[in-house]
Chains A and B, each alone.
Chain A
C-alpha cells in the first residue's frame, strides 16, 4: 500500500461567488506523478494553487473543506511553511530577471535570508541544476542572468529553483505548454527522474503527455473531479462518459 502525502476531502474553491472547484476528494500517493486533466476553465489551475495555498492570495478568493499534508490540515499551518514544503512551477517560466542563474537557484534561501556557507550554496546549486538536467548547459555561465536562457532552459531553471528547497511535493501547472517539442521532451524525462525523490502533480492539456509520464490521472470537468484512477486504466477503460468523450476528443 502506497502512503498518501496530500489528500483533499470535500474541497471547494471560490472566486468571490464563482464556485470553481466543487467537492473534490482525492488522495495523492507519495513518489507518484499525478496528471490533472480536463477542458480549459474546469478548475485545474485553481485546484493546484489550493494545494500550496497560492489561491488565497487572489482578492476575493476563498476555500472550504479539508486539504491534508501527512494528515495535517494545510490550512491550519502557516502558508509560508506550506509553500516551503510544496513547491510550484508555473505555466510560463518566471526566473527572477534581476538574478543570475546561480542566484536564481538559491533564491529561496537567499531572498528568505537563510544563512548558508559558500560550500553549501555551491552544492545546492550544482545538485539542483543537475537534477533539473541543466547543469551541463549552464555550468560555465552561472553568473549570467537567468533570463538570457532559452524558454526550455528557463523552465528547467525554475524547476531547479523549486527543487533546491527540497520540497516534498512539486506542483507543475502546464509546465511545457509554452515550450518547443525538444524542451518538452527533456522536461518529461526530468519528471521521471524527479519522481524518485518527489511527488509531482502536473496539470496538462496534453493527453499524450499525461499517458507518457503519469502514474495516476485525475479528470476534472466543470470544477468536479469526475474520475481519478491509474493512468493506464483511465485511458484504456474510462468509467465516466465525460472522461470517455474527452479522451476520444469529442470535446476539448
Chain B
C-alpha cells in the first residue's frame, strides 16, 4: 500500500467523521424541540393562572371565580412524603444488602424482583394495592396511594444505592474494620456516608418520577374536592386533579388543570435541579 493511498483513506475518514458529527448535532437539536415546545406551552398557559389564591384556595363550583388547587398540592406533598418515608429506609437497606452480598442467592432473586417491579406498569401496582389495602380497609385513602407510590420508588432507590456503593473501594471498608469498628458501624458511618450523594440523587429522582403518577392513585387515593390532611381519607393530588378537570367541559376547570400542570412541571424540574446540586455538593472525592 503506498503513501498516497493511505492519505486518501485518512481524508475519507475525516470527511466521514465530520458528516456523522453534523448528523448527531441535528438529531440532538431535533429532540430538544418537542421538549422545549412542551415546557413553553405549559408555561404560557399555566403562568397566567398562577397566583397566591391559586395555591391557597380549593376548587370553586363552576361559575365562581377564585378557585385554586390547595387541596391537590397539599395532597400530593403529603402522599409523596409518606411514600418517601416508607420507601427510603427499605430501599437503602436493600441496596446495601445487594452491594454487600453481591453473589448471594438472595441477592440474585431480589435483583430479579427489583427489575420486575421496575418494569411493572403503574396501573397494575394500583390494582394490586386496591385489592390488598383499599378493599380490606373498606375505603380509599391517601395512605394506600402512598404505598402504591412507595412500590414505584423502591426499585429506583435500591438500584441507585447498590450502584453507588458498588463503586466504593473495599479498602474503605477495611480501613474501618481495621480501626476496630463493628461491621454495622462501618456500614452506617463509613459506607453510607461515602455514598450519600448517589443515594440521595436516587431518592430525589424517584420523587420526581412518582410526582406525576396518576394511574396508581385512581383507585387508591381516589381524589377529594376538599382540603384534607387525614391520610386515612381519600385525598386529592395534582395528577388526579389534572386528569379530572382537563376532561371536564368547563373552561375554569381547564385553567386549574393547566396551572396544576405547571406546578407539577416545576416540581419535577426542581427535583432534577436539587439532584444536580446534591451530587455536586456532597460528592465524596475518592
Contact = CB atoms under 8 A, between A and B. Distances in A.
Q: Do A and B come from one complex?
A: yes
A88 B177 CA distance: 10
A97 B175 CA distance: 11
Contacts of B196: 98
Interface stretch (B58-66, B90-98, B166-174, B262-270): B166-174
A165 B180 contact: yes
Interface stretch (B29-37, B77-85, B182-190): B182-190
B179 A108 contact: yes
A97 B178 contact: no
A90 B171 contact: yes
Given A98-B193, A145-B285, A83 B179 contact: yes
Contacts of B179: 83-84, 87, 107-108, 111-112, 161-162, 165
Contacts of A81: 180
Contacts of B189: 111
B257 interface: no
A90 B180 contact: no
Nearest to B189: A111
Interface of B: 169, 171-172, 174-182, 185, 189-190, 193-194, 196, 284-286
* CB-CB nearest 5 A-B residue pairs: A84-B180, A108-B179, A88-B178, A83-B180, A94-B171
30 contacts: A52-B178, A54-B174, A57-B174, A90-B174, A90-B175, A90-B178, A94-B171, A94-B174, A94-B175, A96-B172, A96-B175, A96-B176, A96-B190, A97-B172, A98-B190, A98-B193, A98-B196, A98-B284, A107-B176, A108-B180, A111-B176, A111-B179, A111-B181, A111-B189, A111-B190, A112-B179, A158-B175, A161-B179, A162-B179, A165-B179
Interface of A: 52, 54, 57, 80-81, 83-84, 87-88, 90, 92, 94-98, 107-108, 111-113, 145, 147-148, 158, 161-162, 165
Given A83-B177, A88-B178, A161-B179, 11 more contacts: A54-B174, A80-B180, A80-B181, A94-B171, A94-B175, A97-B284, A112-B179, A147-B285, A147-B286, A148-B285, A158-B175
